[in-house]
Structure 1
């Protein structure tokens, strides 16, 4: 597996961020490919760089389904608080409750809009100008808080992002704001596809299985009203971990690119 790593600065906080870029080795560099942007990039490929010792092995999933696509994996911040800031378009009390361990912060979240704007207006043009891509074929995939920001991206920039997968979305975060944002959005075109799922055994911090199941059920129903090509799956015994997401990834790709 050959991964190209580059570092770019995010304009909203000037943090340096590693990008991990993968193209299938059997494809020559001049062949234009669709691009899949993924959050928590350190977890996307090998477990050697993953936060919890297990990667998604997305390159293996591409090979399994026979999909030729380019992956641009964006590392999340090292500080978990910064990650919440970056993946949440809005601040809310649920984020403060979830991150209740000692912290000097009085607000969490709210940088997601600027982060997505950076992807759309800075990162994507950079990738399209430096690699052979299909600029009109753009996918975004994330899990947990990465699911929140991916769903936001689909409805904020439907003219750019055509496919989204939001696995095990932390639907309790930004719940009311995200739901209202989706409900106020215009219906998307037949070209758009959205995959969502949630496991029945997902917990994180004080958030229970019911927190995850209820919020995902409500959000997925709102998405279904706007996206005709939409799939929502409840995974029996599914847990909130990279091992679960890696296992589901081939089926996710099959739906998105069917």
Structure 2
């Protein structure tokens, strides 16, 4: 299926690909939202790939949960950045997203519910199904150096989890406004005990107006606690603490230039 972006802000010339892909871990299909660079049809070039969570929130405002996307495609196109972006759409069944984007059992104060955490299954889909499919059907740079992962909120938590547990696949993990707090005990132990590829780099960002002043303090403590362990293990980290930053796609869009500067560093 081909989907043209809605004419919001600035029309994007290229065509996004939108297609279902079967998730054997959950025995159901999920929509994949994919951005291809402008010159993809006319060249034989290969491209790095950024894999992301919540694919429906990445490109088109009309598909985004709250009517506002990251508008990543517009940024990549207007700046002539050669990168493929692949986003997996989350489950929209009740609160299933929290279960699938939670790598450990946890209790959510916001949802007022406990979840068993099937994030490991989700990551096996990304690593064992999604990446092989994309590599087989598109001109990608398959090497770890050119394979990255990113997400926000629960997707930011999953990107961090992927960075520590699947560093053999992903060289960089972008964790925007990550929902760390309910799983901190597990995250801390896994960060401390997992043998990561030393050439892994993390981007960690959070805003001062995401959850109020008390929540901001907790977020800061969580991120710095994990960062301290990563630094002790000689893992590279890029911080972006956003003054007045909110927990929403409109503010995450503002980070897109810095995110791609981070991803392009060292190439």
Unaligned runs of 5+ in 1: none
User: 2:63 aligns to what?
Assistant: 49
* Length, aligned pairs only: 248
Q: Deviations over 1:116-139 (max 9, x none)?
A: 011101111111001110111211
| Corresponding residue SS for 2:182 | coil
User: 1:173 aligns to what?
Assistant: 182
Q: How does 1:187-226 map to 2 (within 5 A)?
A: 187-190=196-199, 192-203=200-211, 208-226=215-233
Q: Would you say the 8 A contact 1:43–1:54 is kept in 2? A: yes
Q: How does 1:76-115 map to 2 (within 5 A)?
A: 76-79=90-93, 81-93=95-107, 95=108, 97-100=109-112, 107-115=114-122
Q: Deviations over 1:14-64 (max 9, x none)?
A: 232100111111233632111110101000001110001111011123235
Aligned: 1:149 with 2:163: no
User: 2:35 aligns to what?
Assistant: 22
Matched residues in 2 for 1:77 and 1:256: separation?
Answer: 27
* Distance change in 2, residues 1:233/1:117 (3 Å): same
Q: Would you say the 8 A contact 2:32–2:89 is kept in 1? A: yes
TM-aligned CA deviation for residue 209 of structure 1: 2.7
Q: Which has the bigger relative contact order, CA under 8 A and spacing at least 6? A: 1
* Distance change in 2, residues 1:109/1:41 (3 Å): farther
* Distance change in 2, residues 1:257/1:14 (3 Å): same
TM-score by length of 1: 0.90
Moved more, 69-78 or 1-10: 1-10
For the aligned residue pairs, the C-alpha RMSD in angstroms reads 1.9
* Distance change in 2, residues 1:30/1:109 (3 Å): farther
